[in-house]
Amino acid sequence: MIRKWSAPIVRAGRAAGWSSAPVTYALIALCCLSFLAGPVSGLNPAYGTGDELLAVQRAYFRRWGVIPAELFEGSAGSALTPATALFVHGSWVHLLGNMLFLYVFGAMTEERMGRVQFTLFYVGCGYLALLGYAVANAHSEQSLVGASGAISAVLGAFLYLFPRARVTSLLPFLFFLPVRFPAWVVLPFWAALQWLAAGRASDGPGVAYLAHLIGFGLGFGCASVRYGRPTGPTRVKAAPAPAPEGENQP
The pLDDT tens digits of the residues spanning 134-169 come to 998 888 888 899 999 999 999 999 989 988 787 765
Distance, in Å, from the CA atom of 139 to the CA atom of 229, rounded to the nearest integer, reads 41
Q: Which residues have a Cβ under 8 Å from the Cβ of 123 and sit 6 or more positions away?
A: 83, 86, 150
* Predicted confidence band of residue 76 (pLDDT cuts 50, 70, 90): confident
Which residues does residue 178 pair with via DSSP β-bridges, in sequence order? Answer: 170
The answer to whether 148 is a known catalytic residue is yes
Q: State the pLDDT at residue 164.
A: 79
Residue 162, helix vs strand vs coil: coil
The active-site residue out of 89, 94, 140, 148 is 148
Residues belonging to the chain:
250
Q: State the pLDDT at residue 247.
A: 52
- The kind and range of the H/E element at 180 are strand 178-182
Q: State the pLDDT at residue 44.
A: 85
* Predicted confidence band of residue 206 (pLDDT cuts 50, 70, 90): low
Q: State the pLDDT at residue 196.
A: 66
Neighbours of 130 (CB within 10 A): 31
What is the percent of the chain with per-residue pLDDT over 70, rounded to a whole number?
A: 68
pLDDT tens per residue, range 35-64: 999 999 988 888 888 889 999 999 999 999
Is residue 205 within 8 Å of residue 141, measured between CB atoms?
no
Residue with the larger pLDDT of the pair 6 and 203: 203
On the question of pLDDT at 81 being above 80, the answer is: yes
The active-site residue out of 89, 143, 169, 212 is 212
Angstrom distances, CA of residue 161 to CA of 55, 197, 225, 226: 44, 26, 11, 11
* Predicted confidence band of residue 181 (pLDDT cuts 50, 70, 90): low
> Cα-atom radius of gyration of the chain, to the nearest Å?
18
Angstrom distances, CA of residue 10 to CA of 18, 46, 120, 198, 226: 9, 34, 26, 43, 33
CB crowding 157-178: b at 16 or more within 10 Å, else e: bbbbbbbebbbbbebeeeeeee
Distance, in Å, from the CA atom of 194 to the CA atom of 211, rounded to the nearest integer, reads 9
On the question of pLDDT at 97 being above 80, the answer is: yes
